[in-house]
Structure 1
Amino acid sequence: MKEHATPPRALILNADDLGYDPGITRGLLKALREGVVSSATLLVNTPWSEEAARQAGGLAIGLHLNLDRGPPVGPGFPREWRSMDGGFIGAMVDALPADVVEAEALAQLGRAERLLGRPATHLDVHKHLHRHPQVLEGLARVARRAGLPVRSIDAGMRDALRARGVATNDHFMGESGEAAYWTQERFAAAVAALPGEGVTEWMCHPGHLPEVVTSRYAAQREVELATFLHPRTREALDRGALRPTDFRVLHAA
């Protein structure tokens, strides 16, 4: 196994949930094209996935693996792990075998790349479900085969991915709770405290209000969008001599 070498300092601002809802997608793409967000991940099993991928031409997009809601993409996803309407049962994901996760992750990655018309930049997981060991194992197999980085959210996950030969970020920050996470104040403080070396991912959720789906993180997306579009946010990055990049910085790691 290749020993991990810490790359020079780099910051990735990755927006989750491309394709989740038309309003969310519209705001997310605005954050990418007009703001400081530099990367996003696509849900491929929603009614809006295809249009979202089409609208994301030329942008750095990875796969937002979804094992929580909506229908599986892989034709062989076992019936016993599906709900009455054929979708995922999010509460049962901790019992999914690694082989089942691997097959579904491979199917979703294939669909992402077909919809985008280009390779995905990296992999992450809706609701961080790769906290479950067998989900992490199945995902890591696909990532290793595809040569793609995977988001890690803590030191234990980082070590586990690297032990499996999968590249990952060195640092991580982001949340989606009751209050909007990325305010201008938190953003400026995070820039000032950014580690001096390694690849840092800041997960974010900018967007407009959902038009169709119900999401507990709704109005908070508008706050994040305003943060990433505000001139003071770009000024904070300029003061730190930072130009956000995407996960392709890890492809050669």
Structure 2
Amino acid sequence: MNDAAPPRRIWLCADDYGISPGVNHAIRDLIGRGRLNATSVMVVGPTIGRDEASALQTLAADSPRCAIGLHVTLTAPFRPLTMHYQPLDGGMFPSFPKLLRAGLLRRLDPEIIHAELRVQLATFGELFGRAPDFVDGHQHAQLFPQIRDAFLMAVKEAAPNAWVRQGGRRQPLARRLHSPKALVLDTLSAQFRRRASRADIAFNPGFAGAYDFSRQADFGALMRQFLDGLPEHGVIMCHPGLVDEVLVSLDPLTDQREREYAFLGGEHFLPLLAANKVTLG
């Protein structure tokens, strides 16, 4: 690597703002300390309202180039904002596996999906007084068949200047085979990128952050892998947070959030960025 080359600027994006008080607190703390430069907001979450939105917006305004996006949500245990949404499972969105299967079998109604996405985009606008800087998806639902076209259409209509998140990373096949989750994201993202390009919608050139949440992984070691080869303006997805009762009731990703929060707020993170010639500023 050329030591004289300027540092690569990447997006380090904390997902799920709005899912719980502990997650909201952790994300705002890291933004305020310059340890994050993007977060995506779950407008169907139980702890997003005008106060939480205002606190985030005020903090982001004081942080150089901090982006706030919409975290489109279409999976359980969350509920749709539109009436007559289908399919439902006990009044909630379907689970991640059911939604992906329905999309692959082309059993979804893109018009119903599109209507829900337009309402989520409008809700973001009501909370923040503007369109999102970018739009991504909870559990990568924006990449699923049938959903991706409705997603891109809604973004084009309601947030034409926003960029969207794809989950692919250009790596040798042998390396990708070691991470089945990343390989699935690569496959789904290839179609997503082609459709986004045809719609003239910008997207991130690279992505990292997927790992096996069921294991107690060393997040510092993972971050070194995520940074390796990530291009300028690439996105690293992360999920920092503090565990509280609301989070436990909604999401299995708990202790891992605290490990991510501890590393991103700790003494080793900024030197790791510097060693890899990466900046968030």
- Closer, same or farther in 2 for the Cα pair 1:112/1:182, shift >3 Å? farther
Which of the pair has the greater relative contact order for Cα pairs under 8 Å at 6+ separation?
A: 1
For structure 1, the residue ranges without an aligned partner over 5 or more in a row are 1-7, 246-253
* Preserved CA contact (<8 Å) 2:143 2:166: no
Q: For residue 102 of structure 1, report the CA deviation from its aligned partner.
A: 1.3
- Closer, same or farther in 2 for the Cα pair 1:194/1:141, shift >3 Å? same
The answer to which of 219-228 and 206-215 deviates more is 206-215
Q: Which amino acid aligns with 1:62?
A: G
Deviations 1:161-217 (A, max 9, x none): 2233221011100125113567222323443x234x442100000000132133221
1:128 corresponds to 2:154: no
Task: Quote the residue 1:116 is aligned against.
Answer: 128
For structure 2, the residue ranges without an aligned partner over 5 or more in a row are 1-6, 61-66, 169-188
Deviations 1:135-181 (A, max 9, x none): 10000001222212110012503233223322101110012511356
Deviations 1:55-107 (A, max 9, x none): 212322111011113221234x43x42334x3322324633222111111111
* Preserved CA contact (<8 Å) 2:239 2:257: yes
Task: Quote the residue 1:81 is aligned against.
Answer: 87
Cα root mean square deviation, aligned: 2.2
Q: For residue 130 of structure 1, report the CA deviation from its aligned partner.
A: 2.2
Task: Quote the residue 2:13 is aligned against.
Answer: 14
* Preserved CA contact (<8 Å) 1:62 1:123: yes
Provide the C-alpha distance between the structure 1 equivalents of 2:73 and 2:247, rounded to a whole number of angstroms: 15
Provide the C-alpha distance between the structure 2 equivalents of 1:224 and 1:158, rounded to a whole number of angstroms: 29
Aligned runs of 1:19-98 on 2, under 5 Å?
Answer: 19-50=18-49, 51-58=51-58, 59=60, 60-69=67-76, 70-75=78-83, 77-78=84-85, 80-84=86-90, 86-90=91-95, 91-92=98-99, 94=103, 95-98=107-110
Q: For residue 49 of structure 1, report the CA deviation from its aligned partner.
A: 1.3
1:199 counterpart SS class? coil
Aligned runs of 1:1-253 on 2, under 5 Å?
Answer: 9-50=8-49, 51-58=51-58, 59=60, 60-69=67-76, 70-75=78-83, 77-78=84-85, 80-84=86-90, 86-90=91-95, 91-92=98-99, 94=103, 95-145=107-157, 146-147=159-160, 148-154=162-168, 155-156=189-190, 157-175=192-210, 177-179=213-215, 183-191=219-227, 193-195=228-230, 197-214=231-248, 215-244=251-280
* TM-score, normalised with respect to structure 1: 0.83
* Preserved CA contact (<8 Å) 1:188 1:233: no
* TM-score, normalised with respect to structure 2: 0.75
Provide the C-alpha distance between the structure 1 equivalents of 2:10 and 2:40, rounded to a whole number of angstroms: 16
Q: Which amino acid aligns with 2:56?
A: A
Q: Which amino acid aligns with 1:53?
A: A
Aligned length in residues: 233
2:279 counterpart SS class? coil
Provide the C-alpha distance between the structure 1 equivalents of 2:116 and 2:12, rounded to a whole number of angstroms: 26
* Preserved CA contact (<8 Å) 1:181 1:224: no
Deviations 1:7-52 (A, max 9, x none): x943100010000111122112222222511100111112211143
